Structure 1
Amino acid sequence: MNFCLRTILTICFCLLILTKGFSISDRINSLITFEVYTAKHKSTIVYDKEGTPLDSISAHLLAEDIFKVTNYKPEIITNLKQAKGNVIIIGNINSKLINAFIKSSEIPSDFKNQWESYLYKTIAKPSKSIKKAFIIAGTTPRGTAYGVFNISKEIGVNPWYWWADVPVKSRKELILDQSDSISKAPSVKFRGIFLNDEDWGLQPWASKTLEPETGDIGPKTYAKIFELLLRLNANTIWPAMHPSTKAFFHYPGNAKMAEMYNIVIGSSHAEPMLRNNVDEWDKKTLGDFNYKTNKNAVFNYWENRVKEAKNIDAIYTMGMRGVHDSGMEGVKSKDEAVALLDGILKDQRQLLKTYINEDPTKIPQAFTVYKEVLDLYKNGLEVPDDITLVWTDDNYGYIRSLSNPEEQKRSGGGGVYYHASYWGRPHDYLWLSTTSPCLVWEEMIKAYTLNNKTIWILNVGDIKPAEYNTQLFLDMAYNASKFETIEAVNKHQEDFFTDIFGEKYGKTIANIKAKYYQLAFERKPEFMGWSQTEPTTPIYQTAYNSLGYGDEISKRISAYKTIENKTQKIAQNLPKNLKSSFFQLVAYPVEAASNMNKKFLYRDLALTYAKQNRISAKKHKDSSNLAYQNIITLTEKYNALSNGKWQGIMHMKPRNLPVYQNPEITLSENSSKDILGIAVEDTLRNIQGISKLPTFYENDFKSYFIDVFLKSENETSWKLTNLPKWLNFSKTNGILNPKNTPETRIYVSIDWKLWNQSRKPLSEIITLESGDFKEDIEIQISENYSNLPKNSIIEKNGLAVWYAHSFSKNEEKNKAFWQILNGLGHSQHPLQASPVASESFSEFKNTPVLEYDIYAETINPEAHLNIVALPTHPLTTSGQVRIGVQWNDSPIKIIDFKTEGRSSTWKQNVLSNTAKKQMQIAIDKTGKQTLKIYMIDAGVVLDYFILNTKSQLEPYSLPAETKIYSHEN
Structure 2
Amino acid sequence: MRGDGDEPMSEDANVALLEKIVADQRTILAKEVNADVTKIPQVWALYKEVQDYYERGMRVPDDVTLLWCDDNWGNIRRLPTAAERARSGGAGIYYHFDYVGGPRNYKWLNTNPLTKIWEQMHLAWQHDATRIWIVNVGDLKPMEFPIEYFLTYAWAPAKWPYERIGEFSEQWAAREFGPTHASEIAALVNGYTKLNGRRKPELIEPGTFSLVNYREAERVLAEWQDLVSRAEKIEAVLPTAAHDAFFQLVLYPIQACANLNELYIAAGRNRLYSVQGRFDTNREAERARQAFDNDAALVQRFHSINGGKWNHQMSQGKFGYVNWQEPPAEVMPAVAILRPNKRAVPAIAFEGRETSWPVWGTPPPKVPSLDVYSQGSRWVELFNRGETPYTFTAVADQPWLKVTPSSGTVLETVRIEISADWSAVPVGNTTAKVTFKPDQGRPLTVTVPIVNPAELRPGSFDGFVEIDHHVAIEAPHFSRAIGDTQTAWHTLPDFGRTLGGVTTSPVLAEPRTPGGDAPRLEYDIHFFSAGEAKVEFQVAPSLDFQPDEPLRFAASFDDEAPQIIRVGTNPNEWEPWGTAVSDGVRRVFSTHQLKGAGRHTLKIWAVTPGVVLERIIIDTGTGRFSGVRPSYLGPVESPRAGTGK
Q: Same fold by TM (over 0.5)? A: yes
Task: Tell me what 2:614 maps to.
Answer: 943
Measured after TM superposition, the shift of residue 814 of structure 1 is 4.3
The separation in 1 between residues aligned to 2:285 and 2:266, in whole angstroms, is 6
The alignment partner of 2:249 has SS state of helix
Partner-residue secondary structure (3-state), 1:569: helix
Q: Confirm or deny that 1:763 pairs with 2:431.
A: yes
Distance 1:680 1:512 in 2: 34
**Per chain length, whose mean CA-contact separation is higher, i.e. which structure has more relative contact order (CA < 8 Å, sep 6+)?**
2
Q: Secondary structure at the match of 2:258?
A: helix
Conservation of the 8 A alpha-carbon contact between 1:869 and 1:941: yes
The amino acid that maps onto 1:808 is S
Verify the 8 A CA contact 1:679 1:708 in the aligned structure 2: yes
Quote the offset at 1:323 in angstroms.
4.6
Does structure 2 retain, via aligned residues, the 8 Å contact 1:610–1:670? no
SS of 1:850's equivalent in the other structure is: strand
One-letter amino acid of the counterpart of residue 716, structure 1: Y
Contact 2:221 2:261 (C-alpha < 8 Å) held by counterparts:
yes
Name the aligned partner's letter for residue 59 of structure 2. Answer: E
The aligned counterpart of 2:383 is 709
Q: Does 1:854 align with 2:519?
A: no
Report the equivalent of 1:121. none
Partner SS state of residue 616, structure 2: strand
**Alpha-carbon distance in 1 for matches of 2:341, 2:589:** 41
- Do the aligned partners of residues 325 and 790 (structure 1) sit closer, same or farther apart at CA in structure 2, a change above 3 Å counting? farther
Match of 1:963 among 636, 639, 643: 639
2:424 is equivalent to residue 754 of structure 1: yes
Aligned mates of 1:499, 1:731 — CA distance in 2: 50
Question: What is the TM-score when the length of structure 1 is the normalising length?
Answer: 0.62
Change (3 A) 1:323 1:882: same
Deviations 1:653-691 (A, max 9, x none): 176428942112134665796522221211399999542
2:175 to 468, 478, 499: 499
| 1:58-77 CA distance string (max 9 Å, x none) | xxxxxxxxxxxxxxxxxxxx
* Larger helix percent: 1
Contact 2:276 2:356 (8 Å CA) reproduced: no
Aligned to 2:629: 953
Alpha-carbon distance in structure 2 between the residues aligned to 1:851 and 1:967: 17
Paired with 1:940 and 1:966, the residues of 2 have a C-alpha distance of 30
Q: Is the 8 A contact 1:420 1:459 kept in 2?
A: yes
**Alpha carbons 2:68, 2:79 under 8 Å: kept:** yes
* Residue 398 (structure 2) pairs with residue 734 (structure 1): no
Structure 2 partner of 1:934: 605
Q: Is the 8 A contact 1:598 1:624 kept in 2?
A: yes
Pairing partner for 1:780 from 449, 456, 475: 449
Partner-residue secondary structure (3-state), 1:628 = helix
Cα distance in 1 for residues equivalent to 2:469 and 2:337: 33
Tell me which residue corresponds to 1:576: 240
The residue that corresponds to 1:356 in the other structure is 33
Going from structure 1 to structure 2, the CA distance change for 1:470 and 1:963 (only over 3 Å counts) comes to: same
Residues 791 and 963 of structure 1 are in contact (CA less than 8 Å); yes or no, is this contact kept in structure 2?
Answer: no
Query: 1:596 aligned to 260, 263, 271, which one?
Result: 260
Task: Give the CA deviation at 1:736.
Answer: 2.6
Cα distance in structure 2, aligned partners of 1:968 and 1:359: 66
Pair 1:665 & 2:335 matched = yes
Tell me whether 1:544 sits opposite 2:209 in the alignment.
yes
Greater displacement, 374-383 / 576-585: 374-383
1:913 to 557, 566, 584: 584
**2:464 is matched with which residue?**
793
Aligned pairs, how many? 626
1:659 and 1:412 mapped to 2: Cα distance?
46
Match runs of 1:472-551 below 5 Å: 472-484=149-161, 486-529=162-205, 541-549=206-214, 551=215
Contact between 2:210 and 2:630, CA under 8 Å: does it hold in 1?
no
Tell me, what secondary structure is at the counterpart of 1:820? strand
Contact 1:699 1:752 in 2 (8 A): no
User: Counterparts in 2 of 1:272-291, with a 5 A limit?
Assistant: none
Of 887, 892, 897, the residue aligned with 2:562 is: 892
- Tell me the CA shift for residue 700 of structure 1: 2.2
Match of 1:875 in 2: 545
Per the alignment, do residues 359 and 963 of structure 1 end up closer, same or farther by CA in structure 2, a change over 3 Å counting?
Answer: same
Aligned residues of 1:391 and 1:415 also touching (Cα < 8 A): yes
Q: Distance in 1 between matches of 2:516 and 2:34?
A: 55
Cα distance change of structure 1 residues 937 and 844 upon mapping to structure 2, 3 Å threshold: same
Give 1:152-301 correspondences, 5 Å limit: none
Task: Give the superposition deviation at 1:774.
Answer: 1.5
Q: How far 1:365 sits from its partner (Å)?
A: 1.1
Deviation at 1:748, TM superposition (A): 2.1
**Pairing 1:841–2:505 present:** no
Residue 324 of structure 1 deviates from its aligned partner by 4.9
- Number of the residue aligned with 2:489: 818
Return the letter of the residue paired with 1:728. K
SS in 2 for 1:886: strand
Q: Show the counterpart of 1:923.
A: 594
- Describe the shift of the 1:926–1:966 C-alpha distance in structure 2 as closer, same or farther (beyond 3 A): closer
Q: Superposition pairs for residues 410-489 of structure 1, below 5 Å?
A: 410-484=87-161, 486-489=162-165
Q: Per-residue deviation at 1:837?
A: 1.0
> Are 1:627 and 2:291 matched, yes or no?
yes
Partner SS for 2:409: strand
Deviates more, 1:580-589 or 1:947-956: 947-956
- 2:11: which partner in 1? 332
Structure 1 segments unaligned to the other structure (5+ residues): 1-319, 530-540
Question: 1:791 and 1:325, CA in 2 relative to 1: closer, same or farther beyond 3 A?
Answer: farther
| 1:322 and 2:322 matched | no
Closer, same or farther in 2 for the Cα pair 1:353/1:611, shift >3 Å?
same
Partner of 2:43: 366
TM-score norm. by structure 2 comes to 0.91
State the distance in 2 between where 1:405 and 1:845 align.
29
Does the C-alpha gap of structure 1 residues 671 and 736 become closer, same or farther in structure 2, counting only changes over 3 Å?
closer
**Which 4+ residue blocks in structure 1 deviate beyond 6 angstroms?**
684-688, 966-969
Letter in 2 for 1:942: L
User: Following the alignment from structure 1 to structure 2, what is the Cα–Cα distance between the partners of residues 368 and 421?
Assistant: 18
Report the Cα offset of residue 816 of structure 1. Answer: 1.1
**Which of 463, 474, 478 is the equivalent residue of 1:807?**
478
Aligned to 1:120: none
Distance in 1, matches of 2:631 and 2:18, equals: 48
Q: Is the Cα contact below 8 Å between 2:396 and 2:402 reproduced in 1?
A: no
Larger radius of gyration: 1
Mark the CA change 1:515 to 1:381 in structure 2 (over 3 Å): closer, same or farther.
same
- Tell me if structure 2 keeps the 8 A contact 1:388–1:454: yes
Q: Secondary structure at the match of 1:746?
A: strand
Residues 845-895 of structure 1 deviation map (CA, whole Å, 9 limit, x = unaligned):
57422222222223334x421111111112323331111222344432212
1:700·1:965 contact (CA, 8 Å) conserved in 2?
no
Select which of 48, 55, 60 maps to 1:383: 60
% identical aligned pairs:
28
Alpha carbons of 1:430 and 1:791: their partners in 2 closer, same or farther (altered >3 Å)?
Answer: farther
Partner amino acid for 2:423?
K
CA distance in structure 1 between the partners assigned to 2:564 and 2:339 by the alignment? 52
Measured in 2, the distance between the counterparts of 1:902 and 1:671 equals 51
> Offset of 1:441 from its aligned partner?
0.8
Q: Contact conserved, 1:613 with 1:671, CA < 8 A, in 2?
A: no
Q: What secondary structure sits across from 1:634 in the alignment?
A: helix
Deviation at 1:456, TM superposition (A): 0.9
Query: Hey, what's the Cα distance between the residues in 2 that align with 1:394 and 1:563?
Result: 30
Quickly say closer, same or farther: Cα 1:688–1:451, change in 2 above 3 A: closer
* Contact 1:528–1:659 (Cα < 8 Å) also in 2: no
After TM superposition, list the pairs within 5 Å mapping 1:51-70 onto structure 2: none
